[in-house]
């Protein structure tokens, strides 16, 4: 008998309150709509870019925009979210100043460079409890990753998967396209003790520090290289099979490329709940005190025994 996301959240959770459950269900509902769009981009003319440049200085893909609007609409309808931070919007989007209980930072579509070539992409969410009822602005979104109540990601791949992490652990679900329901596939997801893969963009080799080059040379003799170019797909494979993802600071990107609030924090929360770790090379991602919504960070995610000694 297959258990749906809604049933599992209802039955087995120990510390997920009704409002947090409803936020997770809104993400699931939005993901089902986005999955359909991902599968039809060339049929519905939503491939390619909008021609706009976003706050990151990157070309906005039509699907970035569409996914962003789909999830914002879901969160607006949900009513429990006070404000959203998104990769695709310069400032936070206030949804419910009066009674919103949660803050969400999201990457609505991760892996944009892979959209048009039918390679796995995803959506990433960090969910924080609202800290302060008085003022509500962009600064409300800048909370340490460790303060998250939950983190969620979706992989739109050969199957569509949803991974949900809360204090009580990590679960994975698979989308049943006929029933339009996420069905639980792993109720206690843990990263394997033994690592199998490492993921890095060798195209940046000449920009890496000597230290980074030495670390990568040490990995290449021990593990297989897998690099998809969609953070979420590389992360998901390494989480399930054991592995290390590295996007370090380098001469081209002195603060790294990936964003703290809606890529690094949610994934560092998830991997820590699954027995792994997320660091910058100097500190744990979840302990960083954020300065701005779109700030970048070096990001290393993987098995504790490998990552911990990497940059010491």
Closest CA to 311 of 249, 222, 243: 249
Question: According to CB under 6 A, which one of 107, 149, 181, 250 is a site residue for ligand AHG?
Answer: 107
Compare residues 153 and 223 and give the one whose CB is closer to ligand AHG.
153
Residues between 237 and 276 that touch ligand AHG (CB under 6 A): 257
List the single partner that 230 binds among Mn ion, ligand AHG, none, CB under 5 to 8 Å by kind: ligand AHG
Compare residues 35 and 166 and give the one whose CB is closer to ligand AHG.
35
Compare residues 110 and 250 and give the one whose CB is closer to Mn ion.
110
**Does 54 help bind ligand AHG (rule: CB under 6 A)?**
no
- E strand or H helix that includes residue 284: none
**Does 229 help bind ligand AHG (rule: CB under 6 A)?**
yes
Residues between 156 and 195 that touch ligand AHG (CB under 6 A): none
In whole angstroms, what is the distance from residue 245 CA to residue 239 CA? 10
Q: Chain-centre distance of CA 31, in angstroms? A: 13
Compare residues 19 and 212 and give the one whose CB is closer to ligand AHG.
212
**Does 48 help bind ligand AHG (rule: CB under 6 A)?**
no
Residues between 13 and 42 that touch ligand AHG (CB under 6 A): none
**Does 297 help bind ligand AHG (rule: CB under 6 A)?**
no
Determine how many CB atoms are found less than 10 A away from the CB of residue 222: 10
Q: Which residues bind Mn ion (CB under 5 A)?
A: 87, 107, 109-110
Tell me the closest approach of the beta carbon of residue 110 to Mn ion, in angstroms.
3
Q: Are 108 and 125 in contact (CB under 8 A)?
A: no
Q: Are 239 and 192 in contact (CB under 8 A)?
A: no
Of the candidate spans 90-98, 146-154, 226-234, 236-244, the one that interacts with ligand AHG by CB under 6 A turns out to be 226-234
Question: According to CB under 6 A, which one of 65, 74, 87, 272 is a site residue for ligand AHG?
Answer: 87
Determine how many CB atoms are found less than 10 A away from the CB of residue 293: 22
Tell me the closest approach of the beta carbon of residue 304 to ligand AHG, in angstroms.
21
List the single partner that 195 binds among ligand AHG, Mn ion, none, CB under 5 to 8 Å by kind: none
Helices (H) and strands (E) in the chain, counts: 7, 15
Compare residues 100 and 108 and give the one whose CB is closer to ligand AHG.
108
Cα angle 21, 24, 25; round to 5: 85
Tell me the closest approach of the beta carbon of residue 120 to ligand AHG, in angstroms.
10
Closest CA to 44 of 57, 33, 31, 59: 33
In whole angstroms, what is the distance from residue 178 CA to residue 87 CA? 31
Tell me the closest approach of the beta carbon of residue 49 to Mn ion, in angstroms.
13
Q: CA dist 30 to 23, 45, 125, 191, Å?
A: 11, 20, 12, 27
**Does 201 help bind ligand AHG (rule: CB under 6 A)?**
yes
Question: According to CB under 6 A, which one of 112, 166, 238, 265 is a site residue for ligand AHG?
Answer: 112
Q: Which residues contact 8 (CB under 8 A, 6 or more apart)?
A: 171, 173, 184, 187
Tell me the closest approach of the beta carbon of residue 200 to ligand AHG, in angstroms.
9
Task: Please name the residue that has the structure tokens 């989308």.
Answer: 175
39, two tokens: 């599968």
55, two tokens: 């706050």
Binding residues for ligand AHG, rule: CB under 6 A, are 87, 107, 110-113, 201, 229-231, 257
């Amino acid at each position: 008998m297959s258990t749906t996301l809604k049933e599992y959240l209802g039955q087995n959770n120990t510390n997920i309150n009704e409002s947090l459950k409803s936020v997770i269900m809104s993400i699931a509902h939005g993901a089902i709509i986005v999955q359909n769009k991902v599968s039809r981009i060339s049929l519905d003319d939503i491939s390619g870019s909008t021609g706009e440049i976003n706050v990151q200085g990157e070309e906005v893909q039509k699907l970035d925009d569409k996914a962003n609007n789909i999830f914002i609409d879901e969160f607006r309808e949900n009513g429990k979210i006070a404000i959203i931070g998104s990769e695709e919007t310069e400032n936070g989007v206030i949804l419910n100043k009066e009674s919103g209980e949660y803050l969400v930072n999201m990457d609505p579509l991760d892996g944009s460079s892979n959209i048009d070539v039918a390679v796995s992409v995803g959506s990433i969410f960090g969910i924080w409890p609202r800290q302060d009822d008085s003022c509500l602005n962009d600064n409300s979104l800048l909370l340490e990753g460790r303060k998250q109540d939950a983190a969620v990601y979706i992989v739109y791949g050969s199957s569509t998967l949803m991974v949900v992490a809360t204090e009580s652990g990590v679960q994975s679900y698979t989308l049943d396209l006929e029933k339009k329901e996420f069905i639980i596939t792993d109720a206690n997801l843990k990263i394997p003790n033994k690592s199998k893969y490492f993921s890095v963009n060798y195209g940046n080799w000449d920009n890496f520090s000597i230290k980074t080059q030495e670390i990568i040379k040490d990995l290449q003799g021990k593990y297989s290289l897998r690099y998809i170019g969609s953070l979420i797909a590389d992360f998901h494979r390494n989480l399930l099979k054991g592995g290390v993802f590295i996007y370090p600071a380098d001469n081209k990107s002195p603060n790294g490329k990936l964003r703290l609030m809606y890529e690094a924090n949610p994934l560092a929360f998830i991997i820590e709940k699954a027995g792994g770790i997320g660091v910058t090379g100097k500190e744990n991602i979840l302990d960083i005190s954020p300065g701005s919504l779109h700030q970048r960070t070096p990001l290393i995610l993987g098995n504790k025994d490998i990552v911990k000694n990497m940059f010491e």
